[in-house]
Structures are given as structure tokens and as C-alpha cells.
Chain A
Amino acid sequence: SAVISQKPSRDICQRGTSLTIQCQVDSQVTMMFWYRQQPGQSLTLIATANQGSEATYESGFVIDKFPISRPNLTFSTLTVSNMSPEDSSIYLCSVAGKADEQFFGPGTRLTVL
């Protein structure tokens, strides 16, 4: 399985600011995904990050709020913009493996005050 790392592992931010989360994979992968997990809840897909093209966003998520970059096949970033306390969540990076399974990173725990 792929080894996925995320930075930062956690952060406390002030409302109105932005945070960029990095995801690094130890091998080249075609599909990368960004999820949000609100406290005590399940996983919700934010967007699929495609290398060389714009990310594909799910209903309820927009590029202005969650801009995503995918400069190569091993790296992606998710920015949470103009944060409010409702953005306090765990943000998870995920990649598709060779057999089309999905692996998750350790997550970034965000608290917005």
C-alpha cells in the first residue's frame, strides 16, 4: 500500500484566515482525493484532484473555499480559505492504489477559533 504523509498534523487557526494542507505520497498515483470528517462523523468527499487539470468538486464544495493544487503525481495541496469555526474538522488525503483500492493519510486536525 502507498505511504501517505500530511502536513500539518494539526493546527489551531483564527477565523478569517486560510490554511494550506500538504499531502505527499511515496509513489506515483493517478487519483488523489480530499475528504472532510467532522467531529464524530463519517467521511465526506470534498474533491478529486487530477494531475494537470482542475479538481472535480462534490456538491456543496466550491473551488473558492477549497482550492486544490496537484502539480505532480505524488503531491497535492488543499487550502481551506476564509475559515470559520464550522470548518473545524479532520481533513484527509486519500489515494487510489494499483488495484483501485483507496488508502488514507493520517489526517490534519483543524480547529478554527
Chain B
Amino acid sequence: GENVEQHPSTLSVQEGDSAVIKCTYSDSASNYFPWYKQELGKGPQLIIDIRSNVGEKKDQRIAVTLNKTAKHFSLHITETQPEDSAVYFCAARPNSGYSTLTFGKGTMLLVSP
């Protein structure tokens, strides 16, 4: 089955800096890669996703890049703010339809004012 590795496990940055979280996956059939943000005491929130026919996708301060050859994808957050502090999870899903997501172990991002 699919295996997703996520790094780093913790990331501390100063407000205004950029943050990058990286994930690798094992199943070359995976074609959907979402990112979730989970704040303390809340459920995971889908913040951005990318499908295998696209190499990069941006939404304001966040972007995701995908390298299918190397089987890795990354989340980029620019101009970080204290409210970006949370745990971020990447995930991958083979095929489509009724296939299920496999999650990385998560990255705790701390943005200091």
C-alpha cells in the first residue's frame, strides 16, 4: 500500500519568514495530494490540494509543488504569521473514486512574533 513520509516533524520560524514542509510517497499510482491544517482542539482543515496533472498550485500565501518523477510534494507558506501555527498533514491517494487517503505523520509549525 501507499506510504507517506513527512519532514520535518517540527518547524520553528520567525514571523515573516517562509516555511517549507516536504512529503514523499511510494505508490506511483497516487494522483491526489491534499494538505490539511489542524489547530489545537479542531478537526483538520483542507487548505490546498494538487492533482497529478499539475506541477504547482498557489492560493495567496500558500503553494504546493509536485514532482511525480521523484514522488515528492511540498507545502510552501510565505510571509508566515502567528496564526499559521498549527500541525500540518500531507496525504496521498492512489487512483480515484473510492480509494482512501494515506496521511503523513504531521509537522508542528510554530511561528514566533
Give the interface of A toward B (CB within 8 A).
Answer: 1, 4, 31, 33, 41-43, 45, 48, 58, 92, 100-107, 109
A108 to B31, CA, bound (A): 30
B contact residues, range? 20 to 34
Give the interface of B toward A (CB within 8 A).
Answer: 32, 34, 36, 41-46, 49, 89, 96-98, 100-101, 103-106
Main secondary structure of the interface of B (DSSP, over half): loop
Task: Give the interface centre of B42, B44, B46, B105 by most chain A CB atoms within 10 Å.
Answer: B44
Q: Which single residue of chain A is at the shortest CB-CB distance from B49?
A: A101
A11 to B36, CA, bound (A): 25
Task: Give the interface centre of B43, B101, B105 by most chain A CB atoms within 10 Å.
Answer: B43
Within the complex, what minimum Cβ distance (angstroms) separates B25 from chain A? 14
